[in-house]
Structure 1
Amino acid sequence: MKTKQTKILFVCLGNICRSPMAHGVMQYLVDKYECQNVFCKIDSCGMYGEAEGTQTHQRTILEIQNQLNYQFMKPSRNWSAKDYDEYDLILAMDKSNYFAILKQLGKQKISDAAQKVKLFRDFDPKGKGNVMNPYGGEQIKYTQVFQIIERTCKNIIQSHVQIQDK
Structure 2
Amino acid sequence: MPEGKVSVLFVCLGNICRSTMAEGVFQSMAKEPQYKDRIGRIDSSGTGAYHIGNQPDDRTMSTLESHGITGYRHQARKVRLSDFDEFDYVFAMDRHNLQDLQRLKRGKPDSKAEVKLWGEYSGSKKVEEIDDPYYGGREGFETTYEQCTRFARNFLKDTFPDVEPPK
Contiguous gaps of at least 5 residues in structure 1: none
1:65 aligns with 2:46: no
Secondary structure (helix, strand or coil) at the match of 1:27 reads: helix
1:134 aligns with 2:133: yes
Report percent identity of matched pairs.
Answer: 26
Q: When the two structures are aligned, how many residues end up with a matched partner?
A: 164
Secondary structure (helix, strand or coil) at the match of 1:50 reads: coil
Distance 1:79 1:164, change over 3 A: closer
Q: How does 1:4-83 map to 2 (within 5 A)?
A: 4-83=4-83
Give the partner amino acid of 1:58.
D
Moved more, 84-93 or 127-136: 127-136
CA contact (8 A) 1:61 1:71 kept: no
Secondary structure (helix, strand or coil) at the match of 1:42 reads: strand
Contiguous gaps of at least 5 residues in structure 2: none
Distance 1:27 1:165, change over 3 A: closer
Runs of 4+ in structure 1 deviating by more than 4 angstroms, as ranges, are: none
Name 2:123's counterpart in structure 1. 125
CA distance in 2, matches of 1:19, 1:159: 20
Structure 1 residue 71, shift from structure 2 partner: 3.0
TM-score by length of 2: 0.89
Q: Looking at secondary structure, tell me which structure has more helix per residue.
A: 1
CA distance in 2, matches of 1:55, 1:37: 28
CA distance in 1, matches of 2:58, 2:67: 14
Aligned-residue RMSD, C-alpha: 2.2
Structure 1 residue 164, shift from structure 2 partner: 5.1
1:154 aligns with 2:153: yes
Structure 1 residue 2, shift from structure 2 partner: 8.8
Give the partner amino acid of 1:125.
G
Structure 1 residue 156, shift from structure 2 partner: 1.0
CA contact (8 A) 1:131 1:145 kept: yes
CA distance in 1, matches of 2:138, 2:32: 25
Q: Deviations over 1:14-48 (max 9, x none)?
A: 00000010000000001024413111110000001
